[in-house]
Chain A
Amino acid sequence: MHTMNSNIPTDMELVERYLGGDSEAFEQILKRYEQKIFNFGLRMCRHQQDAEDLLQETFLNVLRYLDRFRGESAFKNWLYKIASSVCIKKRRKTKHQPDRELSWEELLPEDHVHPDNTPQWLTTPIDQLLNRELAQVIESAIGELPPKYRIVWVLRDKEQFNTQETAEMLSLSQATVKVRLHRARLFLRNQIRDHYEGLGYES
C-alpha cells in the first residue's frame, strides 16, 4: 500500500507517523476524512447536530483505538466501520420506529406500462441532469430510506466500498448487502422517475 513515486503519504504511513509521536500526522488524517465522515453522518442521521456528534465520536474512537489498528484492513474501512457502529449505537439509544422493510411489491416498476418512447431523462447526459432541484429530490429520498437500507446504500454507492467490504463492516452476509442495495437503488430510482415523469417533465 506504500506509494513509491508520490510525496502524498498513504493512510498507513500517517497512522505509523502518528503512533511514532508525530501529532501533525493525525491532523492530516482528519483533513483527509472529516468531510466524508461528516457527510456520512448527515445522510445517516439527517440532523446536523447528530452528524456533528457522530463525527466527534468517530474520531475520538479512532484516537482511542488507533494503537490496536494492525492494518488487516485498509484504514478507510476501519474508519467507516467505527463510524457505522457509532451510527447504529446512536440509533439504538434514541427512541425510533423499527426499521421497516422495503417490500419487493412496492418497488416493482411501472415503466412497463409506459408509452413506447424512452423517457427523456434516460437520454440526457448525466452531468446536465444533476441540478440543485434533482439533488434535493435524491437527498430527500435518501432520508426516506429505512436506515438499514440507507447505511448499505451510503457505503456502497456513495463511499464506493465493495459488497464484501460492506458486509464485513456491517457484519452482514454478502447476500443481504446485495438485496438491500438493490432495493435501496430501486427506491431512489422510483423517486427520481416520479420527479421527472410524474410532474409532466417528459414532454
Chain B
Amino acid sequence: MKAKCLEMYRKMSEYLDLECDQATREKVEAHLEECRQCGDCLESIRRTIALSEILPQEPVPEEVRSSLRQALSRCIEKY
C-alpha cells in the first residue's frame, strides 16, 4: 500500500463523519480523484456504517417485559 493511501486510510472515518478540518478534507478529496482503490475503500466503510444502522432489532420477549415490570414494581414498593 502506498504511503499516501495509508495516510488516507487512517482518516476515512473522520472524513465520513465530517470531523476533519478543511485542509484534510481537501487533501482526501484530491486523492480520491486520482485513486479509485481508495474510493472503493471509502465506499466500503460508508456501506459498513449504513448497514450497521439498518441491522434488524430483536423484539423483547413477552416474559422479559413482564419480569422487568415486576422487578420495577417491587423496587417502587420498597421506596
Contacts and interface: CB of A to CB of B under 8 A. Distances in A.
Interface residues of B, number: 42
B40 A119 contact: yes
B52 A135 contact: no
B51 A134 contact: yes
B60 A35 contact: yes
A70 B3 CA distance: 49
Main secondary structure of the interface of A (DSSP, over half): helix
A181 B17 CA distance: 11
Given A126-B50, A160-B53, A60 B19 contact: no
A32 to B, nearest CB: 12
A63 interface: yes
Chain B CB within 10 Å, residue with most, of A129, A130, A188, A189: A189
B67 interface: yes
Chain A CB within 10 Å, residue with most, of B40, B71, B76: B40
Given A111-B37, A126-B50, A182 B14 contact: yes
Contact of B72 (A59, A111, A182): A59
A135 B55 contact: yes
Interface in A96-118: 108-109, 111-112, 114, 116, 118
Given A111-B41, A178-B13, A56 B57 contact: no
Contacts of A111: 37, 40-41, 44
